Chains A and B, each alone.
Chain A
Amino acid sequence: MPDIREIQVSVNGEDHSAKVETRTSLGDFLRQNLGLTGTHLGCEHGVCGACTVILDGEAVRSCLMLAVQANGHEVTTVEGLAGEEGELHPLQEAFWKHHGLQCGFCTPGMLTSLVAFLRDNPNPSERDIREAISGNICRCTGYQGIVDATLEAAKVMQGRV
Chain B
Amino acid sequence: MKPAPFIYHNPLTPEDAVSLLASNEEAKILAGGQSLMPMLNMRFVVPDHVIDLNNVTGIDGVTNRDNLLEIGAMTRQCDLMANDLVKSKAPIIPEALEHVGHFQTRNRCTIGGSLCHLDPAAELPCLMAAYDANLTVQGPEGQREIPFIEWPLAYMIPNLAPDELLTKISFRYWSLNHGFGFEEFARRHGDFAIVAVAALLEVDDGKITRAAISIGGANISPVRLVKAEEALIGMLANEDTYKVAADIAQEIESISDAYVTSQYRQRLAGTLVQRALVKAGDRVNRS
Contacts and interface: CB of A to CB of B under 8 A. Distances in A.
A–B in direct contact per CB < 8 Å: yes
Interface of A: 2-3, 5, 21-23, 25, 28, 44-46, 49, 52, 55, 58-61, 63-66, 68-69, 113, 117, 131-132, 134-136
A38 B41 CA distance: 21
B2 A28 contact: yes
Contact of B38 (A52, A64, A66, A136): A64
Given A45-B38, A65-B108, A23 B6 contact: yes
- In which size bucket is the chain B interface? 20 to 34
B103 A117 contact: yes
Interface of B: 1-8, 10, 30, 33-34, 37-38, 40-42, 50, 52, 54, 78, 101-105, 107-108, 188-190
A134 B37 CA distance: 20
A64 B2 contact: no
Helix, strand, loop or mixed for chain A's interface?
mixed
B105 A46 contact: yes
B78 to A, nearest CB: 7
Contacts of A21: 5
Given A23-B6, A46-B38, A61-B105, 6 more contacts: A22-B6, A23-B5, A55-B107, A61-B104, A68-B8, A135-B101
B103 A132 contact: yes
B108 to A, nearest CB: 6
Contacts of A23: 2-6, 8, 40
Nearest to A61: B104
Residue from B1, B33, B37 having most chain A Cβ neighbours under 10 A: B37
Given A45-B1, A63-B37, A135-B101, A22 B107 contact: no
B6 A135 contact: no
B10 to A, nearest CB: 8
Contacts of A113: 103-104
